Chain A
Amino acid sequence: MLYFTKWKAALVLLVCALGVIYATPNFLPSGMLPNETSYLPGKQINLGLDLRGGSHMLLEVDTDSVLRERYDALADAIRTELRQEQIRNRPREATENGAEITILRAEDLEKAREIARTAEPNTELAGEGNNIVVSYNELALKELIDRAIAQSLEVVRRRVDELGTTEPSIQRQGENRIVVQVPGLDDPSRLRAILGRTAKMNFHLVNTEKTAAEARSSGLPPGTMILPSADAEDQAAGIREYLIDRRIVVSGDNLVDSQPTFSDGRPVVSFRFDAAGGARFGDITSKNAGRGLAIVLDGEVISAPRINEPILGGNGIITGQFSVQEANDLSLLLRAGALPAPMQILEERSVGPGLGQDSVEAGEFAAILGLVFVIAFMAISYGRFGVYADVALMMNLILVLAVMSVLQATLTLPGIAGIVLTVGMAVDANVLIFERIREERRNGRSIINAIDAGYRSAMSTILDANITTLIAALVLFSFGSGPIKGFAVTLAIGIITSMFSAIWLTRLLIATWVKRSRPTELVL
Chain B
Amino acid sequence: MKPLHLIPDDVNVPFLKFRKVFYIISLVMVLASVGMFFTKGLNFGIDFRGGILVEIKTDGPADINVLRDNLGSLGLGDVSIQEFGAPDDVLIQLQRQDGDEQAQMTALATVTEALGENVTIRRSELVGPKVGGELKEAGFYSVVISLFLIMVYIWIRFEWQFAVASVAALLHDVLITIGFFVITGVQFDLATLAAVLTVAGYSINDTVVVFDRIREYLRKFRKMEIPDLLDLSINSTLSRTTMTSLTTLLALIALFVFGGEAIRGFTMALIFGVVIGTYSSICVASPLLVVLRLKRKIPEAEEGQEANA
- Which A residues have a C-beta under 8 Å from some C-beta of B? 58, 60, 188-189, 192, 196, 344-352, 354-355, 358-359, 362-363, 365-367, 369-371, 373-374, 377-378, 380-383, 386, 413-414, 416-417, 420-421, 423-425, 427-428, 431-432, 435, 438-439, 442, 457, 460-461, 464-473, 475-476, 478-481, 483-484, 487-488, 491, 523-524
6 contacts between A and B (CB under 8 A): A189-B109, A346-B130, A367-B254, A370-B253, A373-B254, A457-B216
Bound Cα distance from A71 to B7, whole angstroms: 77
Q: 7 extra interchain contacts, Cβ-Cβ under 8 A, other than A352-B120, A420-B251, A465-B209?
A: A383-B3, A417-B270, A425-B205, A464-B157, A468-B154, A480-B190, A487-B198
A383 in contact with B1 (CB, 8 Å): yes
Q: Chain A residues near B128 (CB, 8 Å)?
A: 344-347
Chain A, residue nearest B125 (CB): A349
The answer on a CB contact under 8 Å between B131 and A346 is yes
Residues in A with CB closer than 8 Å to B247 are 374, 377-378, 423-425, 427-428, 431
Is B194 at the interface (CB under 8 A from chain A)?
A: yes
Chain A residues, CB < 8 A from B208: 461, 464-465, 468
- Chain A residue with minimal CB distance to B57? A354
Q: Does B276 contact A (CB under 8 A)?
A: no
- Find out whether the CB atom of A523 lies under 8 angstroms from the CB atom of B2: yes
The answer to whether A472 and B190 touch across the interface, beta carbons within 8 angstroms, is no
Please determine whether B190 and A484 come into contact, CB atoms closer than 8 angstroms.
yes
Q: Do residues A345 and B198 form an inter-chain contact, with CB atoms below 8 A? A: no
Report the Cα distance A424→B205, complex, angstroms: 13
Which 9 pairs from chain A and chain B are nearest by CB? A424-B248, A472-B201, A424-B251, A370-B251, A370-B254, A362-B260, A479-B142, A469-B201, A475-B146
Q: Which residues of B contact A345 (CB under 8 A)?
A: 101, 105, 126, 128
Chain B nearest CB: distance from A494 CB in Å?
A: 11
Cβ of A365: which chain B residues have Cβ within 8 Å of it?
A: 258
* Beta-carbon nearest neighbor of B200 in chain A: A472
Contact among A351, A352, A417, A438 with B255 in the assembled complex (CB-CB below 8 Å): A417
Measured CB to CB, the nearest residue on chain A to B239 is A435
User: Which residue of chain B has its CB nearest to the CB of A386?
Assistant: B3
Decide: A420 and B123 in contact? CB cutoff 8 A. no
A468→B205 contact, CB < 8 A: yes
Segment at the interface with A among B22-30, B70-78, B133-141, B176-184: B133-141
Give Cα A457–Cα B217 distance, bound, in whole angstroms: 12
User: Is there a chain A Cβ closer than 8 Å to B236's Cβ?
Assistant: yes
Does the CB pair B142–A480 fall under 8 Å? Answer: yes
Please state if B150 and A471 are interface contacts (CB–CB under 8 Å).
yes
Instruction: Assess the B122–A351 pair: CB atoms within 8 A.
Output: yes
Q: Tell me the smallest distance from the CB of A206 to a CB of chain B, in Å.
A: 28
With the chains together, A369 CA to B253 CA distance in Å?
10
B307 beta carbon closer than 8 Å to chain A: no
- Is B80 positioned at the interface, with any CB of A under 8 Å from its CB? no
Docked Cα-Cα span, A174 to B251, in Å, equals 38
Q: Which residues of the other chain, B, contact A369 by a CB distance below 8 angstroms? A: 254, 258
Contact residues of A: prevailing secondary structure: helix
- Between A365, A469, A470, the greatest number of chain B beta carbons within 10 A of the residue's beta carbon is seen for A469
- Closest CB in chain B relative to A228 CB, distance in Å: 16
- Cross-chain contact B124 with A350 (CB below 8 angstroms): yes
Chain B interface main SS type: helix
A473 / chain B contacts, CB cutoff of 8 Å: 198, 201
| A342: nearest chain-B partner, CB-CB | B102
In the assembled complex, the Cα of A473 lies from the Cα of B3 at a distance in Å of: 34
The minimal Cβ–Cβ distance linking A98 to chain B, given in whole angstroms, is 25
Interface size of B by CB at 8 A reads: 81
Contacts of A354 in B (CB 8 A): 57, 120, 122
- Name B3's contact: one of A58, A382, A470, A478 (CB within 8 Å): A382
Interface: B291 (CB within 8 A): no
Could you say which residues of chain A place their CB within 8 Å of the CB of B194?
A: 414, 476, 480, 484, 487-488
Which residues on the A side are within 8 Å of B240 (C-beta)? 431-432, 435
Decide yes or no whether B225 CB sits under 8 A from chain A.
no
Q: Is B279 interfacial (CB-CB < 8 Å)?
A: no
Contact A355 B123 (CB under 8 A): yes
- B250:A424 contact, CB within 8 angstroms: yes
Question: Is B98 among interface residues, defined by CB-CB distance under 8 A?
Answer: no
* B residues less than 8 Å from A377 (CB atoms): 246-247, 250
Q: CA separation between A348 and B102, bound complex, in Å?
A: 12
Task: Please tell me if the beta carbons of A344 and B100 are within 8 angstroms of each other in the complex.
Answer: yes
Q: A354-B57, A414-B263, A417-B266 are in contact. Are A347 and B212 (CB under 8 A)?
A: no
Closest CB in chain B relative to A82 CB, distance in Å: 37
**Which of A362, A381, A465, A467 contacts B258 (CB under 8 A)?**
A362
- A373 touching B250, Cβ below 8 Å: yes
A377→B6 CA distance, assembly (Å): 11
Min CB–CB distance B81 → chain A (angstroms)? 18
**In the complex, what's the smallest C-beta–C-beta distance from B26 to chain A, in angstroms?**
21
Chain B residues near A478 (CB-CB < 8 A): 142
B57 to chain A, nearest CB (A): 7
Chain B 106-128 per-residue mask, 1 if CB under 8 angstroms from chain A, else 0: 00110010000000111111111
Q: Assess whether A421 is in contact with B252, with CB atoms less than 8 Å apart.
A: yes
Query: Please, how many angstroms separate the alpha-carbon atoms of A344 and B249 in the complex?
Result: 43
Known A472-B197, A476-B142; judge A374-B255 contact (CB<8 A): no
Residues on B with C-beta less than 8 A from A386 are 3
- Beta-carbon contact of B244 and A425 below 8 Å: yes
Chain A minimum-CB-distance residue to B113: A189
Residues of A within 8 A of B139 (CB): 479
Q: Are B251 and A421 in contact, with the CB atoms below 8 A?
A: yes
Distance (Å) between the CB of B171 and the closest chain A CB?
A: 14
Selected contact of A346 from candidates B101, B120, B145, B205, CB within 8 Å: B101
Chain B residues contacting A424 (CB-CB under 8 Å) are 244, 247-252
Check if A435 sits within 8 Å of B122, measured CB to CB. no
User: Are A491 and B198 interface neighbours, CB within 8 A?
Assistant: yes
List the A residue with the shortest CB-CB distance to B203: A468
Nearest B residue (CB) for A378: B247
**Contact for A358 among B101, B200, B246, B260, CB less than 8 A:** B260
B185 to chain A, nearest CB (A): 21
Contacts of B191 in A (CB 8 A): 414, 483-484, 487
Docked complex Cα distance between A472 and B253 (Å): 22
User: Within 8 Å CB of A438, what residues of B?
Assistant: 9, 239
Q: How far, in angstroms, from A91 to B135 measured CA to CA in the complex?
A: 42
Decide: A352 and B123 in contact? CB cutoff 8 A. yes
Q: Which residue of B9, B108, B212 is within 8 Å of A461 (Cβ)?
A: B212
Is B224 in contact with chain A by the CB < 8 A criterion?
Answer: no
> Which of A60, A381, A427, A439 gathers most chain B CB within 10 Å?
A381
Chain A residues near B298 (CB-CB < 8 A):
none
Separation in Å of the A446 CB from the closest CB of chain B? 18
8 Å CB interface, B234-293 against A = 236-237, 239-240, 243-244, 246-255, 257-260, 262-263, 266-267, 270
Task: Please state if A420 and B149 are interface contacts (CB–CB under 8 Å).
Answer: no
Known: A414-B194, A464-B208. A370 touches B255 (CB 8 A): yes
Is A420 a contact of B101 with CB atoms below 8 Å? no
Closest B-chain residue to A59, C-beta based? B101
Contact B254 A196 (CB under 8 A): no
C-alpha spacing A482/B105, complex, angstroms: 21
Bound-state CA distance A301–B247 (Å) is 66
In the complex, which of the residues A373, A416, A457, A466 has the most CB atoms of chain B within 10 Å of its own CB atom?
Answer: A373
A464→B212 CA distance, assembly (Å)? 9
Which residues of B are found within 8 Å of A344, using beta-carbon distances? 100-102, 128
